Amino acid sequence: MDRIEIDGAAVEAAEKIYLMMNKPRGLVTTADDEKGRETVYSLLPKNLAWIAPVGRLDKASEGLLLFTNDSAWAARITDPASHLDKTYHVQVDHPADTDLIRDLESGVEVGGGEPLRAKSVRILRSGSKTSWLEIVLDEGKNRQIRRMLEGRGVGVLRLMRVAIGGLRLGDLRKGGCRVLNAEDKSSLE
């Protein structure tokens, strides 16, 4: 086994850290923002070793966000080949119908490229002016849900990631963080 030393003292590998956060709207998912906006790092414990977000949620989105200093684990979670489901609850500015669900699942052409599609969509609640949808993606492209809905002329009022794989946000308070236990980590495999 190799041993690394600095000035004769052995350097130990950093302890692996795995956290989940309930990201509130209005924060950017970056360590340092060039525009001076508040970042998700403002919610992390101050004495914590360096960790990085696993994936992103845009400023207007909220919900489950993972952090770690284990880059190999993070790469497995974010690898498109893993097809790890990401579940979102989305409030839209239209009553939802079967045509919208069919289009989101079969693919919406946006910007002349390959159609963006959801793995599954279901209506959670629908009123006369708005609806809540559950949208499951098995790969995440930049702003995919917002772009798919915009392509259908539907605006997003609220977008919350509620699960990644079998790991659910649950009752973690908004802005709260907690360490992932072994069961949480295995739900992401």
The C-alpha atoms of residue 62 and residue 68 are separated, in whole angstroms, by 19
Q: CB–CB of 101/121 below 8 Å?
A: yes
pLDDT at residue number 5: 66
Flag residues of the chain having pLDDT under 50.
Answer: none
> Of 56, 52, 27, whose CA–CA distance to 42 is shortest?
27
pLDDT at residue number 140: 73
Residue 19: count other Cβ atoms within 10 Å of its Cβ. 19
Domains and CATH numbers, the chain: 18-81+168-186 (3.30.70.580), 85-164 (3.30.2350.10)
State in Å, rounded, how far the first CA of the chain is from the last one. 28
The C-alpha atoms of residue 59 and residue 65 are separated, in whole angstroms, by 12
Q: How do residues 78-96 score in pLDDT, each as one tens digit?
A: 887 887 999 999 999 999 9
Active site residues: 58
